[in-house]
Amino acid sequence: MSFEAFLIVAAIMFCIGLYGALARRNVLAVLMSIELMFNSVNITLVAMAKYLAPAGLQDDISTVLTGQVFAVFIITVAAAEIALGLGIVFAMYRTNETVDLSEATQLRY
Amino acid sequence: MLFQDIVFWILAVMAIAGALGVVLVPNLFRAALLLIVVFVAVAGMFILLSAEFLAVVQILIYVGAIAILIIFAVMLTRDVQHGNLPNRMNIPAAVFAALLFTALVAVAVDTKWEFLPADQQERAELVQVNAVTTLTGEVLDDAGVSPEDQAEVQESGLADLLISDYVLPFEAVSVLLLAALIGALVLVRPNLGTGRG
């Protein structure tokens, strides 16, 4: 359970999420892939908060929690993102009758 | 340590297999259920990393709210059974993701990380336990923290940081969340733009 093991698991999850976000047609699958990427970034931040020495460690011991604070912010932003994303999905489904991203071309030309 | 290693590898296999399932399973409803497996595995990893507060938040927000919202969205839209098809970018995206993975692993293995010095390890762990529950003086005495250092440990909880050092990002993210929720309400309102709600 070394630090690098956490980083590599997070990297695997991030790349799976990236592939899903780029290569899937269904907009819900893309949203789920983005959630995977958010989660892998959170693992990385918390692992760094646990194992690494922050720059201001000598002055203030509470800097070892910086990664966790950032993870809290990321979770909040992820919640905002999924609320807006699902709103857009429903608006798109109402106008297009589909959630297929390759048919959402109204803004393309 | 051995027990923690076993738990870590179980969680890692759960997270990676679940993530692969989310992306590759054709049935979107099952993909959403596998996403919950990934979220729970990540929550377990947070506990292994002594971030108990984040583990609870992960379960409450991701499993309790986000996954349920996604399942609702899957069931409210059609094409549930065969909705997870790849697009034309399938192979380039896989190649790009594989290249990025190679780069990330190279960085993770090659970088000389500056780990916590051994003499600070114990205090750092105390601060991370203190992140959620303020430790009492007796506990800190037992852990060998000198009286002048006790206040520093006790004042470094997650909530203390959020309302002192990080108060500006905290307020900014609150406004962002409010704006996003209002935006989502406007987006899903019927008769968009006609003035009739």
- Residue B60 maps to which CATH number? 1.20.120.1200
pLDDT given for residue B187 in this prediction: 85
Enter the pTM of the model: 0.88
Number of folded domains that form chain B: 1
Contact A57 B192 (CB under 8 A): no
The reply to whether B85 falls in a domain is yes
B-chain residue closest to A7, CA distance: B108
Q: Is the pLDDT of residue B195 over 60?
A: no
- Distance, in Å, from the CA atom of B144 to the CA atom of B122, rounded to the nearest integer, reads 10
Q: Looking at domain A3-99, which CATH architecture does it have?
A: Orthogonal Bundle (1.10)
Contacts of B161 in chain A (CB under 8 A): 62, 65-66, 69
- Say how far residue B49 (Cα) sits from the centre of its chain: 12
The reply to whether B143 falls in a domain is no
Longest dimension (CA), chain A: 59
pLDDT given for residue A105 in this prediction: 80
pLDDT given for residue B197 in this prediction: 45
Reported for B131-136, long-range contacts at CB under 8 A and 24+ positions apart, including other chains, are B131/A65, B131/A68, B131/B51, B131/B52, B131/B53, B131/B156, B131/B157, B131/B158, B132/B52, B132/B53, B132/B157, B132/B158
Whether the Cβ atoms of residue B93 and residue A33 lie closer than 8 Å to each other: no
Would you give the DSSP letter of residue A54? P
Tokens coding B126: 């105390």
Average pLDDT, chain B: 84
Residues 8-37 of chain A with CB under 8 A from chain B are: 8-9, 11-20, 22-26, 28-29, 31-33, 35-36
The reply to whether B133 falls in a domain is no
pLDDT given for residue B79 in this prediction: 64
Beta strands in B57-187 (DSSP E): none
Residues 39-58 of chain B with CB under 8 A from chain A are: 39, 42, 45-46, 48-51, 53-54, 57-58
The reply to whether B88 falls in a domain is yes
Model pLDDT for residues A16-44, shown as the tens digit of each residue = 999 999 998 888 999 999 999 999 999 99
Contacts of B191 in chain A (CB under 8 A): none
Whether the CA torsion A57, A62, A67, A73 is positive or negative: it is negative
A41 and chain B in contact, CB less than 8 A: no
The reply to whether B52 falls in a domain is yes
Domain that holds residue B66: 1-113
